[in-house]
Amino acid sequence: MKKYALSFFILVFVIQVIGCGSPPPPAKPVDMPSQTQAANPQTPMDVPNWFMMTPEPDDVYAAYATGEGTSRKMNIAMQKATQQARANMGQSINAKVQSLIESMVEEAGMGENVQITEFYSETSKSVSNQTLSGATVVKKYPYQMNTGGYRVYVLMGLKKEPFDNAASQAIVSKVKENQEEAMYANFKKTQAFNRLEESLGE
């Protein structure tokens, strides 16, 4: 019996030694870092992972955007973070609209010109006005700083269906407003434009 007991203690000792000698697993970015880390960030690991790497569009949201704000009052810090996220969302919307228009320009075999630039500007503004109001805050984390005040991180999402509908509607409407011009006649011959019309049930 003593022999088995001694063997058991030796085994436990060996396991403990091996465990102590193993390096700890590397730290991973987390969705909600600790209070001290996120309030006074020093490295990328100190902030929410989605703040450093904005999520890609998915089946629910057409775009994501992040924002950060600081203030002595938490509600003001929240407002600043939300405003920044909304501004970043506007840039994302513009990029998506430009991509849609560029696909038609390329398919129609047209080059960049003043009319194209104006068309893009007017359309992206129209889509932004229609969809930004529908952008919602998906996540928001306030942290109290050691120096007083708050730091807030915000993740904003834009629902896919409202954005797709608004983008399609804006582009189709702009084309039809100027259908007498050759440039827009070329647009209407493209498959990209036809797909937009089909998405609106026209």
pLDDT tens per residue across span 129-148: 888 878 899 999 999 988 88
Question: Which parts of the chain have pLDDT scores under 50?
Answer: 2, 4-6, 8-15, 17-19, 21-29
Helix (H, G, I), strand (E, B) or coil at 169: helix
The confidence score (pLDDT) of residue 25 equals 45
Angle of helix 191-199 versus helix 160-177 axis, rounded to 10: 120
**Of 27, 99, 29, whose CA–CA distance to 57 is shortest?**
99
Q: How confident is the model at residue 14, as a pLDDT?
A: 41
- Domain positions in the chain are 51-199
Burial (CB < 10 A; 0-12, 13-18, 19+), residue 24, is exposed
How far apart are alpha carbons 118 and 177 in whole angstroms?
13
pTM value is: 0.72
- In angstroms, the Cα distances linking 48 to 23, 30, 35, 67, 200 are 25, 6, 11, 12, 38
The pLDDT assigned to 182 comes to 67
pLDDT value of residue 82: 95
